[in-house]
Amino acid sequence: MEQAPYVTIVLPCYNEQDHVIDEVERITAAMDSSGYTYELVAVDDCSTDETLMRLQEAAPKFPHLRIRAFHRNGGSGTVRRIGTQEAKGEIVVWTDADMTYPNERIPELVQILEKDPTVDQVVGARTSEEGSHKLLRVPAKWVIRKVAEKLAGQKIPDLNSGLRAFRRSVARPYLRLLPPGFSCVTTITLSFLSNQHDVYYLPIEYAKRAGKSKFSFVSDAYRYILQVLRMIMYFNPLKVLMPPALWLVAIGVVKGVWDMFQHPFYFPANTVMIFLSGLLIGSVALLADLIVRSRGD
C-alpha cells in the first residue's frame, strides 16, 4: 500500500501555457530537496490555451505531479476548494502558477507547521505590491485589510496572499464557505482567525506576474469587501451590526432630549425613526448571534 504524502500542493492553472512547466519545475525542485513526501496537484481550470496539453506532456518527468482537468471554468476558489478536498497530504499548500510567489520557499512554510503544533496556518505576507492597477489596488487593499483587522480584532499583515500552508484537518470545516473567485484566500484567513486558530505570517517577496492578470479591480475589490463582511457576519455578527445599532440608539436619545428642550412633549418622526432603527438593528444582531452560537459548527 502506497504511503500518503505529507504535503499536498494545490496549483490552479488557467491560461498559463508559457510558464506553467517552469513553475512545476521550481516547486518540484524545492520539494525534492526538502525531504518531505508530497504531491503536486495541478488543476487546469478549463484553460483556452495549451496549458493542459503542456502539463500532460511534461507529466512523465514529474512522478509527484497529479493533473486534474475541469470541463468548465470554476474560478480559483473552486480549484482550491476541490483540490483541498481531494488532497492526500496532512499539510495543504496553496500557491499560483504565474511566477509571482517564491514557490522555492514552500518547504519553509511546511517546516513552520511541522515544528510548531500551535500554528495552524502559515501565510506568505508580501512585502511589496507588483499587481496590475497598482495605484488603485494599494489603497483599496489597505482599506479592506484595516476593515478586516477591525472586525477580526487582530493585525493581518496580508489579507489575500495566494501563498499559504495549513493543516487540512483544521481547514476542512471551512471549505464549504469558500467562494469561487479570488476572495477564497481572504475567506480561509478570516475563518481561521475568527475561530482562534493561530496564523503565522512569513515575509516574502512578490514578483511581477508572468502572463495576463485575471484580476478585475472593480468587481474583485467589491467581492473582497462583501466577503470580509460576510465572513465576520457568519462567525461574529455582533461586530458588524451592534456598533451601528448603538450609534443610532444614542443619536436618537440625544436628539430626543434636544427636541424635548426645543418643543416640550413633541418628538419629530425622524427622531423616532432613528431610535427605532437602532433598536431593530440591535435586535437583529442579537438574533444573528444566537443563531451563530446554536449552529454547532
Domain final residue, candidates 205, 220, 235: 235
Domain final residue, candidates 235, 254, 278: 235
86/127 same-domain check = yes
231/275 same-domain check = no
Q: What is the pTM of this model?
A: 0.82
- Does 147 fall in a domain? yes
- Does 169 fall in a domain? yes
Task: Give me the chain's average pLDDT, please.
Answer: 89
Question: What is the model's pLDDT at position 132?
Answer: 52
Query: Residues 248-293: pLDDT tens digits?
Result: 999 999 999 998 888 887 888 999 999 999 999 999 999 999 988 8
Domain that holds residue 264: 237-294
219/155 same-domain check = yes
- Does 2 fall in a domain? no
**Rg of the chain, C-alpha, whole Å:** 23
Burial of 169 (0-12, 13-18, 19+ CB in 10 A): exposed
156/256 same-domain check = no
Domain final residue, candidates 213, 235, 257: 235
285/175 same-domain check = no
Q: Which residues contact 248 (CB under 8 A, 6 or more apart)?
A: 274, 275, 277, 278, 281
- Does 131 fall in a domain? yes
Confidence of residue 2 (pLDDT cuts 50, 70, 90): low
157/141 same-domain check = yes
Q: How far is CA 220 from the centre of its chain?
A: 13
Q: How many other C-beta atoms are found inside a 10 Å radius of the C-beta of residue 13?
A: 27
Question: What is the model's pLDDT at position 218?
Answer: 59
Question: What is the model's pLDDT at position 235?
Answer: 84
How many domains in the chain? 2
Query: Residues 82-99: pLDDT tens digits?
Result: 999 999 999 999 999 999
- Does 91 fall in a domain? yes
Q: How far is CA 218 from the centre of its chain?
A: 18
62/86 same-domain check = yes
81/204 same-domain check = yes
Instruction: Please report, for the domain that includes residue 183, its CATH number.
Output: 3.90.550.10
- Does 189 fall in a domain? yes
131/266 same-domain check = no
> Which of 47-56, 132-141, 143-152, 265-274 shows the lowest mean pLDDT across its residues?
132-141
53/67 same-domain check = yes
Question: What is the model's pLDDT at position 1?
Answer: 55
- Does 68 fall in a domain? yes
Question: What is the model's pLDDT at position 214?
Answer: 54
- Does 1 fall in a domain? no
